[in-house]
A and B are shown apart, each in its own frame.
Chain A
Amino acid sequence: MASAVTLGRLGRGARRGPGGPFGRRGRLSATALGGAALAALFAFPLLALVVRAFANAWRAPALLPQEYGTRGLKVAFSGRALEAFGNSLAVGVGVTLAALVIGWPAARVLGERRLRRPGLVFLCLAMPLLVPSYATGTGLTEWFLRLNLADTLPGLGLAHLVVVLPYCVVVLLSGFGPRVAELEEMGRTMGLGPLARFRLVTLPAVGPTLAAAAFLGFLVSWSEYGSSLAVGGGRPMLPVVLLPFVRNDPQVAAALALLFLAPAIAALVVTTRAARSPL
């Protein structure tokens, strides 16, 4: 058995050998260059946003602003931006969690191909996405007014759920399949009860996909404009607060856009971490 160990180690060394440190470094620098170029491509428009947010005066032909200042931030935060930020965050997190819990069984059944006609279910799921969300939002408002849900966070959450749920299900279903089912079977024969099996086998196996679904679900809710406007009314959501400034005061819009960006980036970091080392 000792020979198996040495052989294993030798095999590993040999695989690293032929490429050599030189070849590896060469490949690394190419990856780094490509990465830097890609990062620049993404960062460039965002950089303009930062400059815009702090430019008190930036008239057309000039490449850089004539005057820097924090007027944009002041105006942005004097309004209801912070309240809207809080509303959007609460609705985004709540709706994402709800969509993952509600969508889990559907995603599982679809992912394991247990349905004879999955197309029909897909159609039902995607139906809300075929209609502009402002329309569904307006329709829902009629009901919500009668149910005392209009202008409330639960009402906003329900309206967002209509849009978020299909996205979450479609992403989550790719996490299920024979691999997960086989691992769960193994768990059953190793003495794991339903709860332990879910915690130790299913959740880690689906983890990366679950993180991706959560990320997408949050972003969809976070940037949802139509139904936020229709249902929200007196309860501002961030996209609704942001939009009027885009035409009237680009500096304030840029400042709000930076605020808008922060949780999205945070969500990206958290979910990629979760995907790499699930639970």
Chain B
Amino acid sequence: MSDAALTCTDLTVCPGGNAVLRGLSFDVPAGSRTVLVGPSGAGKTTLLRAIAGLEPLEGGAIRLGERDLSRVKPHQRRIAVVFQEPRLLPHLDVQDNIALPLRAAGTGKGERRARARERLEEVGLGGFHERDVAGLSGGEQQRVALARALCAAPDLLLLDEPLAALDPNRREELRRLIVRLQEERSLTTLVVTHDRAEAAELGHRVALMLEGRIVQHDEPRALFERPVSAAVARFFGVANLIADGSGTLAIRPEHVQLDPDAELRAVVTEAVYTGSHVRLVLQAGPQRIEALVSPADAPAAGQEVGVHLPAEHLWRLPGGDGTKVR
């Protein structure tokens, strides 16, 4: 049971001499799952590593609950990290890998292994305790890494792209497992990912990071439906940014409707079947509009259609910095 909130204030981090983070402030509420999402190179992993103490701070402060971590060594921070790769020790079997944090605490061998087996049950690998880690699949190894992190009973759990190396079905299983284990413990958790769908599924709250800055930090739906800028809208798949007077209107492709009687006429220039939907590219005069429609009523390329943009789904970007779309 952890009730430690993470608070980062004014962080400056320069891994290898480049200032990747400059004056960044960020927080994770106690007991919540917060997802840090953004494209590759945005500085997400740098922030996570700085929180864990693996990158030195050039400025700012990190607090976890009542403790100021700025001068605390990584192994004394009570922060456990699950990396993108499982990073298991090849010379130990599964249970001794999981029990590694207890070894640091000086727990006896019997007690250590008993607790490791409990964690192993929890991640759905009961009976695997004496297996060689090299013989496990990628998904199984990542579960063992998760069990090891939980075995440390940390105040904060950091997950760095934990699902990235897995195939879609395994990913779904592990995602559910992470959510369940986090909720059972109400463990303060920060997940880093570059996948916006994963961010929506995993986070109570989502923070979008672009070029070393948190540009929007809110509940998942807000980022998808009420983006604060064109850049946020683009990252979350709002393909349609329509210039409207001095401002910009945004609408998601799945909200665009085809209506034969609509006033706005467009020509279908592209129709691609994506498995669940058909993605259409429509040209309405100078305006390019993307729409996602069900395969049953999808027009063919070259056809003329009527386009309806429902008012309840049109979102006016507050910044008005949406670049004019061709």
Among A174-212, those with CB < 8 Å from B are 182-183, 185-193, 196-197, 200-201, 204-205, 207
Q: Is A38 engaged at the interface, CB distance under 8 Å to the other chain?
A: no
Q: Is A105 engaged at the interface, CB distance under 8 Å to the other chain?
A: no
Contacts A186-B81, A186-B87 given; does A191 touch B124 at CB 8 Å: no
Cβ 8 A contact of A182, one of B73, B83, B104, B149: B83
Cβ 8 A contact of B87, one of A8, A183, A196: A183
A1's closest neighbor in chain B, by CB?
Answer: B124
Q: A200 to B103, Cβ gap below 8 A? A: yes
Q: How far is the CB of A64 from chain B (nearest CB, A)?
A: 49
Contacts A4-B124, A182-B85, A201-B89 given; does A190 touch B101 at CB 8 Å: yes
A189's closest neighbor in chain B, by CB?
Answer: B81
Q: Which residues of B contact A1 (CB under 8 A)?
A: 124-126
Q: Is A5 engaged at the interface, CB distance under 8 Å to the other chain?
A: yes
Q: How far is the CB of B106 from chain A (nearest CB, A)?
A: 9
Contacts A8-B137, A183-B87, A183-B89 given; does A190 touch B125 at CB 8 Å: no
Q: A188 to B53, Cβ gap below 8 A? A: yes
Q: B54 to A192, Cβ gap below 8 A? A: no
A12's closest neighbor in chain B, by CB?
Answer: B135
> Once bound together, how far apart are the Cα atoms of A225 and B51, in whole Å?
56
> Once bound together, how far apart are the Cα atoms of A193 and B77, in whole Å?
11
Q: Is B205 engaged at the interface, CB distance under 8 Å to the other chain?
A: no
Q: B124 to A190, Cβ gap below 8 A? A: no
**A233-251 vs B: 1/0 string, CB under 8 Å?**
0000000000000000000
Q: A191 to B75, Cβ gap below 8 A? A: yes
Task: List 26 contacting pairs A-B, 8 Å CB cutoff, sorted by A.
Answer: A1-B125, A1-B126, A4-B140, A5-B126, A5-B127, A8-B140, A183-B89, A185-B83, A186-B81, A186-B87, A188-B74, A188-B75, A189-B54, A189-B81, A189-B158, A190-B80, A190-B149, A191-B76, A192-B100, A192-B101, A193-B104, A201-B89, A204-B89, A204-B91, A277-B91, A278-B91
For the A-B complex with A5-B126, A196-B103 known, give 5 more contacts whose Cβ atoms are closer than 8 Å: A8-B137, A182-B83, A188-B75, A190-B100, A191-B101
Could you list which residues of chain A lie within 8 angstroms of chain B, going by C-beta atoms?
1, 4-5, 8, 12, 182-183, 185-193, 196-197, 200-201, 204-205, 207, 277-279
